[in-house]
A and B are shown apart, each in its own frame.
Chain A
Amino acid sequence: MSRVELTDVVVDFPIYDGRSRSLRHRLLGLSGGRIGASAGHDVVVHALSDITLSLVDGDRLGLIGRNGAGKSTLLRVMAGIYEPVAGRITVAGRLGSLTNVTMGMDMESSGYENIIVRGLMMGMSRRETLGHLPDIESFTELGDHLSLPLRTYSAGMLLRLGFAVSTSLEPEILIIDEMIAAGDRTFADKAAQRLNRLTSAAHILVVASHSPETLKRLCNKLALLREGRLVEIGPVDEILRRYEAEG
């Protein structure tokens, strides 16, 4: 049984300007005087306010909302990257996220080295990662390039590598941020196939997307976000209509 439960989750981002990033200004500010006034208050962006939702096996939740509505932040909270400022989150089940598949790759290291590091990051042992290697090799079709440093790769090649490694495990809770649809035609087809395998194997799926087609295809319920608040959760068609009506 996999489960994701959020109770009154709040995420506030402090926005620091050069001043508040500086210890010197902070100390001068504390000592009072004229400079103190200019130190100002930290600006805080309320990225998520009082989000409460609960997901169980079989749930395929799509997140919809305009740019900056908090979709990606919510995904990152579920993935454990941001711990909420207030509220609680419980995640039961092996979680995997496909957010930025090429993030964290080292340009100076070879493809193989990056595969090992990414595997370790995803919680696999070296041996387990090596077990996935044939699959990754055949999927990426990068051949000998895998022995070369990543700085020699094109953007498409990087994407293929990142995607292949990130999708080599089948997580119970799968988190996807915006469908990755770049690369040439054949790759896009192969990627879609691989992604289908993953999404159908997952117990719980959470997808953030702007594309109604994607959401209709993958999800059985939608959550509409606006300015960091959860406006409504409901059936796909109903929420989509509401979202489009709002414009």
Chain B
Amino acid sequence: MTEATEEGRMRRDLRLAWLDLATAAKRWRLTVHLAWLDVRQRYRRSVLGPIWLTVSVAFQIAAMGLVYGELFHQDVSHYLPRLAFGLTMWGLISSMVADGCMCFILAESFLKQEALPKSMFPARVVLRSLMVFAHNLVVLLVVIVIFLPLPGWIALLALPGLALIAINGMWVGLVVGLLCTRFRDLPPIVGSFMQVAFFLTPVIWVPETLHGKWWWLVSLNPFASFLSIVTDPLLSVPTPASNWLLALVVTLAGWTTAMLLFGRFRARITYWL
């Protein structure tokens, strides 16, 4: 047993990583509860409570919609829904990435107290981000009613898109969470990266304004693909198949990386804390 080959070791690592994920899934109650406590933490000490999250997003969308619409010479009814969807989706994606960085570091007291599955903590971040995102649904609904033709059944295609984002949030959390636990100067770097990605992704601008220049910024940008697979159905615009393709490729590549990395270093996480 001690003379295990490199391949045997990798197989064992992968099996344990898988077991970790399975145990986390089996203990979903704890994960959901922790995520919910995190959300409630944000309500505390604010008079408006849950409404606050909703109202602040509504204000942001209204203000940016008017000012940026003017700046980009866009018709408000065309621009504002895209901005609303873009901003809220970006909020979801970036919180999964940014909070993913801290998922193990902030769980130190749990991980050193009890033998818990490590993957529970990236899952907690994904769930928490989805819960916070859910607060925006009212705003999005209002935007749809005011500015858009009521979407048909096709809008339901947004759901698999959203699910795919959550699935990706999980591998991102595993990867950045692990790396950030080992290298403590990484979170700010990830932060800057997301800041740049925000501007390079059609969140506050619409692709048409590029007039075909820098087409790759939209077509080869995974963030743009993930935005498109959720927002296009809501805008009643057909989603380009290439966007789904890119999103799926990223999912596959990301999970492969995550399983290898998590398999290799999962057991080290408590040592790094």
A binds B: yes
Q: Which residues of A contact B (CB under 8 A)?
A: 8, 13-14, 16, 21-24, 26, 76, 79-83, 86, 88, 95, 97, 99-100, 103-104, 106, 108-109, 113, 116-117, 120-123, 125-126
Determine whether the beta carbon of B1 is less than 8 Å from that of A81.
no
Contact A125 B29 (CB under 8 A): yes
Q: Given A14-B271, A22-B184, A121 and B37 touching (CB < 8 A)?
A: no
8 smallest CB-CB distances across A and B, nearest first, come from A80-B115, A23-B183, A83-B267, A120-B30, A104-B109, A104-B113, A103-B113, A22-B185
B113 near A82 (CB under 8 angstroms)? no
Q: Which residues of A contact B242 (CB under 8 A)?
A: none
**CB <8 Å contact, B110 and A104:** yes
Quick check: A109 and B109 within 8 Å, CB to CB?
A: no
Cβ-defined contact, B112 with A21, below 8 A: no
Cβ–Cβ contact B183 & A26, under 8 A: yes
In the complex, chain B residues 11-67 whose Cβ is within 8 Å of any chain A Cβ:
27, 29-30, 33-34, 37, 41, 44
Residues of B within 8 A of A76 (CB): 112
Chain B neighbourhood of A82, CB < 8 A: 270-271
Inter-chain CA distance A103–B185, complex, in Å, is 26
| Bound: A76/B273 CA distance, A | 14
Residues of A within 8 A of B109 (CB): 103-104
In the complex the two chains form, is A121's CB within 8 Å of B113's CB?
Answer: yes
Q: How far is the CA of A53 from the CA of B179 in the complex (A)?
A: 34
B186 CB within 8 Å of chain A:
yes
A13→B271 contact, CB < 8 A = yes
Query: Which residues of B lie under 8 Å from residue A99 when comparing CB positions?
Result: 113
A88 and B33 contact, CB distance less than 8 A: no
| Interface positions of B (Cβ within 8 A of A) | 1-2, 27, 29-30, 33-34, 37, 41, 44, 109-116, 179, 182-186, 189, 267, 270-272
CA distance A122 to B29 in the complex (A): 12
Q: How many contacts A-B (CB < 8 Å)? A: 69
Question: Which of B41, B113, B267, B272: most chain A CB closer than 10 A?
Answer: B113
Complex formed: what's the CA distance from A86 to B116 in Å? 20
CB distance from A174 to the nearest CB of B (A): 14
B33→A117 contact, CB < 8 A: yes
Closest Cβ of chain B: how far from A29's Cβ, in Å? 12
Q: Could you write out 11 A-B pairs with CB less than 8 Å apart?
A: A14-B272, A16-B272, A81-B111, A88-B1, A100-B113, A109-B37, A117-B33, A121-B110, A121-B113, A121-B114, A126-B29
A21-B183, A23-B186 in contact; A117/B34 too (CB < 8 A)?
Answer: yes
**A23, chain B: closest CB distance, angstroms:** 4
B183 touches A113 (CB 8 A): no
Chain B min CB distance to A87 (Å): 8
Q: Which residues of A contact B115 (CB under 8 A)?
A: 79-81, 95
Chain B residues contacting A88 (CB-CB under 8 Å) are: 1
**Residues on the A chain within 8 Å of B270, using CB:** 81-83
Closest chain B CB from A241 CB (angstroms): 34
Q: Is the beta-carbon distance between B185 and A23 smaller than 8 angstroms?
A: yes
Nearest-CB residue, chain B, relative to A119: B30
Question: Which residue in B2, B37, B112, B179 is a CB contact (below 8 Å) of A117?
Answer: B37
Name the residue on B nearest A7 (C-beta).
B1
Q: Given A21-B183, A23-B183, A88-B1 in contact, is the A108-B41 Cβ separation under 8 Å?
A: yes
> Whole-angstrom distance between the alpha carbons of A99 and B111 in the complex?
13
Is B186 a contact of A81 with CB atoms below 8 Å?
A: no
Q: How far is the CA of A88 from the CA of B109 in the complex (A)?
A: 25
Complex contacts, A109 vs chain B, CB 8 Å: 37
A117 and B27 CA atoms in complex are apart in Å by 12
Enumerate chain A residues within 8 angstroms of B33, measured Cβ to Cβ.
116-117, 120
